[in-house]
Amino acid sequence: MDELVPKDHGEEIAIFRSQVIGPVVHRQLTRGELRDALKGLARQKFRPPGAERTRHFSVPTLERWYYRFRKHGLAALRPQPRKDAGRAKALDEREKQLVCDVRREHPSASAELILATLVRQGRVREGAVSAATVRRLLAERGLDRVSLRGTHEGLERRRWEAAYPGALWHGDVCHGPVLTGGTKWEPLRIHALLDDRSRYVVALEARSTEREDDMLGLLVRAVRQHGVPEDTALLSRLHTRVRIAPVSLDDAAEYLRHRLRLAGCDRELFPRDVVALLHEASEGAHRELDRLAQLCLRDAACLKRKLVDGELVRSELEPTTSPATESSPRSRWRGSRGTRRRGLACVR
């Protein structure tokens, strides 16, 4: 004989409710006797299907189940879904519009990511809605990811790929072979930063340690060289941002001397007229001043000059129109099309 089991959870709940009101449902009771019987049931504890704890049911709830069962039978005791389920009632219209605007701007972002970002930014109250509710809201307004797929004129962008270069960097450390020299040995750790979209290696250093300070130092030098990536996750961690005004000519000269002293050089490598050229070309910006000074120092070292002169600075400022020849000492810093290969470190 086949075992009779509920077809679904709703039918299981309906059977449970009929069993709760079973002692009174088939009895002939007056109105006062029914009230007293329901009060007696309300004082008892019952364990609903799938629940770990027992609970009480109020007299109005038991009375509602009683009359539903008497009038419509077991089917009337099935739990009915809310008519406004999935409508995100906890969000006002402004918050709903904000969720939709984020999906339009970032079609590949998941509902979980959109909700977590808005909660972190304080735009939506934590716990107000679930990711499933946000997903249903977007689907109701035709903004689910399936509907938006293929609407970006053939641009195919994976969820893990940034929209454009400079938007997101990845940092990692690779373990290389152990370097030995006589009786000493050193571990090899390759620290690198990679641009997500272009796969350009933003920074690369070989070290013997793998500490947080190593990666932070690499990141700081890369930011000085290329600027802060526009990833909102990184920018959200920068609680204080400072804009440095352009430096004066005297400050630029002192700045270059300071950077040289940090690198262990006490000699004056940039004469006053050269500093003036660098200051004018960089417009007083520290990062551009670093970049130009670094390129000039490399060329001066390549040409075996003890000072950076105006000719080197002007050669850096003038666009290269033809490929450098292999016989030129400076050709080792030129690309195959005459474009300069930028270094990754600042002047030290």
Residues 302, 271 share a domain: yes
Of 210, 235, 260, which residue sits at a domain end?
A: 235
pTM above 0.85, yes or no: no
How far apart, in whole angstroms, are the C-alpha atoms of residue 340 and residue 319? 10
Average pLDDT value for residue range 35-49:
89
Q: Is residue 243 part of a domain?
A: no
Q: Is residue 160 part of a domain?
A: no
Q: Is residue 341 part of a domain?
A: no
Of 77, 102, 123, which residue sits at a domain end?
A: 77
Q: Is residue 348 part of a domain?
A: no
Residues 180, 132 share a domain: no
Q: Considering Cα of 116, then 122, then 127, then 128, what sign does the dihedral take?
A: negative
Give the tens place of pLDDT for each residue, 111-138: 898 888 888 888 888 888 888 888 888 8
- Cα 97-101-102 angle, rounded to 5 deg: 120
Q: Is residue 155 part of a domain?
A: no
Q: How many domains does the chain have?
A: 4
Of 191, 209, 235, which residue sits at a domain end?
A: 235
Domain encompassing residue 199: 169-235
Q: Is residue 3 part of a domain?
A: no
Residues 321, 286 share a domain: yes
Give the tens place of pLDDT for each residue, 281-301: 888 888 888 888 988 998 888
Residues 324, 254 share a domain: yes
Q: Is residue 344 part of a domain?
A: no
Give the tens place of pLDDT for each residue, 167-213: 888 899 998 888 877 777 888 999 999 988 888 999 999 998 888 88
Residues 216, 182 share a domain: yes
